[in-house]
Amino acid sequence: MAQKILVTGANGYIGTGVVKALLALKQNVIATDFSVDGIDSRAKAIAGNIFETENPYEYFRKPDVVLHLAWRNGFVHNADSHLGDLANHYNFLSKMADSGVKKIVALGSMHEIGFWEGRIKDNTPCNPLSLYGISKNALRQSLELLCKQKNILFQWIRGYYIVGNSEKGASIFSKITAAEKGGKTEFPFTTGKNQYDFIDYDEFCLQIANVVINNSVLGTINCCSGYPESLASRVERFIKDNNYNIKLNYGTFPDRPYDSLAVWGDNFKIQQILKENKEAGIC
């Protein structure tokens, strides 16, 4: 049965793909962002600032679910805006919780964890080492309390390293694409030895959409591939798959001190969701 789903940040790097994935799953999508020009026309697009909306539940057509993707400077891990915007994110979602929304789903990040070696589970202790990670973790903890108090379903999607949609984002894959199209022959790089959990953009968006329509698996859910791969290996493969001519200049930049040598997500919950949705004929 289709739900009415409000997607914030719907015109962003992840939002545009998630809206398409939800529409493919026959959901009723209300999509909002500052600008809505890149949003799939099948969604009901509403431009505006969610932080300045007095009664967002009414304004956004009384959604059943809020999927909160809105977040600025996600690729600038120590931007002051992360802490500055934190109360605004909470206040917006608190208003929705007070007004009748049945479920809140929000996008988090593996950077909530901080330095960790090995598999990240939904209950892995968090000790974030950047303002981005600190702010995301604080929002997660706040929303857990809010939803428990209001008896609202809550899902926290912990994202990992996304490969794809490189024209729009600000990831290393986006930067390599821009450098290639700008005629650069070399790209400054780290050692590339660190191993991360990489997931293709379309698969990540599909996983998020499946989480949103599933009401039995709750709490923190890793949307990930479930295995590690070295940064060098994945980037070299990205360059080859796209027939780029650019070469990596290894060792130009040091590895970030808060990045683990090898870290990946436990994908048990997302695989359970995909299985349940498939068996129910909604995947």
Residues 6+ apart with CB under 8 A from 126: 112, 113, 114, 133, 137
CA distance 244 to 185: 10
CA distance 13 to 169: 5
Helix (H, G, I), strand (E, B) or coil at 109: strand
- Report the Cα 44 to chain-centroid distance in Å: 21
Give exposure, 22-40, as e/b (b: 16+ Cβ within 10 Å): bbebebbbbbbbeebeebb
Angle between helices 81-99 and 131-150 (to 10 degrees): 10
CA distance 140 to 51: 18
Q: Which two tokens stand for residue 44?
A: 């009901």
The alpha carbon torsion through 7, 160, 113, 236 (nearest 10 deg) reads -150
Q: Looking at the annotation, which residues are catalytic?
A: 132
